[in-house]
Amino acid sequence: ERNVAEIDRPPVCGVVTRIHIPRRGEEIRKEVLCDAAMEFCQIDPRWAGARQGHLWGLSVDASHRFAIVHVNHETGVEDCFWFPEGEFASEAVFAPKGPAAAEGEGYILTMIYRSKSHRSHLAVFDAQRIGEGPLARAHFGHHIPASFHGVWLSDPRDAIR
């Protein structure tokens, strides 16, 4: 017997995989969705439970450099921004431009820790143009511990619905 979540290649990070679980007796199968190895993947939360066209995540290479990655499942394009050595990114959080924005139209927010200065900042990216780098950075006068996780809520009442 083989675990359906097993992968065919050893990753530096996780391999983004969709597991198809049929309703009636057909074989369970897996589908690798992209070449980018990623962790802490995010989708546009307004599309949770539906087929998504966009995915964002955090990647780390063998030399421990961090990147934010965007995968467009419709076009197959993978776009990323590699942070300079000594900058460590936390989970990418998607924030839509507004309630009527198309899927994937918005911003990616990630906390960055700079080891040289022992300080952190929030980096804001255009979700569709990750490779162009941050649109803005909000700097803090101190560090913020790693492992920031979250989801964007435009209305706090969404948390209790």
Question: Distance between CA 32 and CA 46 in Å, rounded?
Answer: 23
Cβ neighbours of 110 (radius 10 Å):
24
118 burial type by CB count under 10 A (0-12 exposed, 13-18 middle, 19+ buried): exposed
Alpha helices (H) along 63-134: none
Q: Name the average pLDDT for the chain.
A: 82
Write out pLDDT tens, residues 110-156: 999 998 999 999 999 999 999 999 999 999 999 887 766 666 666 66
Buried b (16+ CB within 10 A) or exposed e, 52-88: bbbbbbbbbeeeebbbbbbbebeeeebbbbbbeeebb
Q: Which residues of the chain have pLDDT under 50?
A: 1-5, 7-11
**Which of 139-143's residues contact partners 24+ apart within 8 Å by CB, and which partners?**
143/113, 143/118, 143/119
> What's the pTM?
0.78
